[in-house]
Amino acid sequence: MASGAGSNFEALVLAGRTGSLQAEVVQLIVNNPGCGAQQRAQRLAINCSLLDHRQHPSREALDAAIVAQLEGQDIDLVVMAGWMRIVTPVLIDAYAGRLINIHPSLLPSFKGLDAVVQALRAGVTLAGCSVHLVSEAVDAGEILMQAAVPVLPGDDPTSLSARIQRQEHQLLPAAVALMGERLALQG
């Protein structure tokens, strides 16, 4: 699931195609018409569905549409890779323990929107990214993996975000692999 440029989505697809990740991305859901993720899906020949949140009367209705879109497919894990919408128990419960999110901070610090700006305003010397299980509380689920990124003198949201994103592209496939191992053990 993605809302924006889709670079994390592409990182997952490429990791699967190169064999560095023993997984396959079979479906992308986007909520913004014409977003970069949708364009990447077309270029990468991945099935992409648009579920525009503006066409749904509530978050629950959107999440029900997502669940309906995924039903009938052999999906082991749902990845929120830049999904800029708060999800509800409708989706969380449908994929309990199998719904993960990537967030551009070292959680539990700087939850929610503008995490990089929050980190810079706080004056931290270390930022980064986290992959976590999704829970009802925003960015509060079990942390699966993290990567740290130093905050350099003169950093602004753009420069720091770029370095964090490079780490995200490595961290997200690793976290998907970890979840694959967990799910295999659960049988």
How confident is the model over 54-98, as pLDDT tens digits?
Answer: 999 999 999 999 999 999 898 999 999 999 999 999 999 999 999
145-162 burial, b if ≥16 CB within 10 A, otherwise e? Answer: bbbebebeeebeeeebbe
Cα–Cα dist 102/171, whole Å: 9
Cα–Cα dist 160/6, whole Å: 18
All domains in the chain, ordered by first residue: 7-186 (3.40.50.170)
- The predicted model gives 164-179 an average pLDDT of 98
Contacts with 150 (C-beta within 8 Å, 6 or more apart), sequence order: 125, 126, 127
State residue 74's pLDDT score: 87
Q: Catalytic amino acids? A: 103
Q: Are 161 and 121 in contact (CB under 8 A)?
A: no
Q: Are 3 and 38 in contact (CB under 8 A)?
A: no
Residue 187 pLDDT more than 80? no
What does the pLDDT look like over 116-166, one tens digit per residue?
999 999 999 999 999 999 999 999 999 999 999 999 999 999 999 999 999
State residue 40's pLDDT score: 98
Composition of the chain by helix, strand, coil, percent to 5: 45, 15, 40
pTM for the complete prediction? 0.96
Record the tokens describing residue 134, joined without a space. Answer: 């999704």
Record the tokens describing residue 100, joined without a space. Answer: 């993960």
